Structure 1
């Protein structure tokens, strides 16, 4: 069996409600190799970390050619399935998104994140617009014969402060989860959501597996599993942790030099 096809099937199987896939997000080949050596069952990138590691801001500021070359280097460094964060797909139109996803698959990925926030951060694509973009990703996967895992990210919970959330936010997220699933998505990613009651409801009513992102306000990993979460991402936190350690080590070394 084609290795990429086999890894795609494995990656789909790793999404199980109550027994979540843990993704400590990497940003380059070296960090991906370390995460794999720690026992990771899959490698995921995070766009913020990848951009920062290359000296760019997040929000598709990193040139797409660098996204692809970084993916290729990761692919050559690890043996487990790889899913990559492509933000908004590096294009607004479904046609451009499809072309870009074909390139992503050709470089070895078996999963992607595709978000519904406009890259200028001023709002979200309508449900109708985003479903067309997700359908284009599905068409790209069919074109390559690789069952790409489409993780549809919704930024609903970044549109307000956490204390402002109510049932209408969860209902809006569920409405998008159902529409995105019908368009071909396999998972719904809800960064910013930490409230246990809302996480449990989303997991119970979503037609596709739920992915949350860890933050200081998040429930424990064990609690998230009990709530029904199928995938847990660490986002930019591993990169920030490493950069903070580097900064502190550098500061200590420079202080010694000045004695």
Structure 2
């Protein structure tokens, strides 16, 4: 079984796919070691690890290099977060997707947010992109490659529910394998969306939305924690570094 097939099967299992989000090789190896069945890279975490904010501010080659290092060193499937594709033109984004597939990942996250201004791409524009990506993948030996279409309606729209369903349906019709709706937290809306789309729904961990078993009952098929773990690790590092500097003493490094 290929990694792509394995990754697809994880979305159709009776169990929810709890995706471990990694930002470097050490975090990826640790997540694999403790039992996560698949890894999703976090663009936010990768950017932070290189001293940048999220938002396609790092060079795509540099970003892809980290994804490649992770993919080559873990045995479980990897999905790559490539934000909005690192390009303005459809051809550039499609080429970046193919380059990402070439490093061995089983899928991607690709979002509908605009990067140089606030707002979302028009539905028809994003559907055209998804269709081109699907066709290019299928014609280059990547049939069933997992396209997780992220919509940022809940981050950018005042009343996002109905537009989310419209976008999700359109994205699936255009070749998306699954739908990712970060910011979606209300249980009734989660359940309604799962009933209205024909593809697996991925939601993002947020305060008050943390339990896999509850989400499974609502019909969610994939659950990820994004940059929450990397943020916690960075905060822990900063706290301990500050303590070292203030106390001029290393004893706390050996406690516990």
- TM-score of the pair, normalised by structure 1: 0.91
Say whether the 8 Å CA contact 1:15–1:230 is kept in structure 2: yes
Aligned pair 1:151/2:148, yes or no? yes
Aligned pair 1:229/2:225, yes or no? no
**What's the C-alpha RMSD, in Å, of the aligned pairs?**
1.7
- Counting only pairs closer than 5 Å after superposition, residues 152-167 of structure 1 correspond to structure 2 as 152-160=149-157, 165=159
- Counting only pairs closer than 5 Å after superposition, residues 24-103 of structure 1 correspond to structure 2 as 24-103=20-99
Bigger relative contact order, structure 1 or 2, given CA contacts below 8 A and separation 6+? 1
Give, in whole Å, the separation in 2 of the partners of 1:40 and 1:143. 31
How many residues align? The count is 249
| Alpha-carbon distance, 1:204 to partner | 1.3
| Alpha-carbon distance, 1:225 to partner | 1.1
Say whether the 8 Å CA contact 2:20–2:38 is kept in structure 1: no
Aligned pair 1:197/2:188, yes or no? yes
Give, in whole Å, the separation in 2 of the partners of 1:124 and 1:18. 33
Give, in whole Å, the separation in 2 of the partners of 1:93 and 1:158. 24
1:25 aligned counterpart, secondary structure = strand
Residues 115-163 of structure 1 deviation map (CA, whole Å, 9 limit, x = unaligned): 0010134111111000011112212311321221000000000014xxx
Please list every run of 5 or more consecutive structure 2 residues that lacks an aligned counterpart in the other structure.
251-256
Aligned pair 1:243/2:243, yes or no? no
1:125 aligned counterpart, secondary structure = coil
Say whether the 8 Å CA contact 1:17–1:228 is kept in structure 2: no
Residues 225-252 of structure 1 deviation map (CA, whole Å, 9 limit, x = unaligned): 1101000010110100101111122122
Aligned pair 1:9/2:5, yes or no? yes
Say whether the 8 Å CA contact 1:36–1:80 is kept in structure 2: yes
Give, in whole Å, the separation in 2 of the partners of 1:227 and 1:249. 40
> What is aligned with 1:119?
115
> What is aligned with 1:212?
203
* Compared CA separation, residues 224 and 121, structure 1 to 2 (3 A): farther
Give, in whole Å, the separation in 2 of the partners of 1:31 and 1:45. 10
Residues 26-77 of structure 1 deviation map (CA, whole Å, 9 limit, x = unaligned): 0011111111001011111111111111111211111101111111111222
Please list every run of 5 or more consecutive structure 1 residues that lacks an aligned counterpart in the other structure.
none
Give, in whole Å, the separation in 2 of the partners of 1:124 and 1:83. 23
> What is aligned with 1:139?
135
| Alpha-carbon distance, 1:219 to partner | 5.1
Give, in whole Å, the separation in 2 of the partners of 1:56 and 1:130. 27
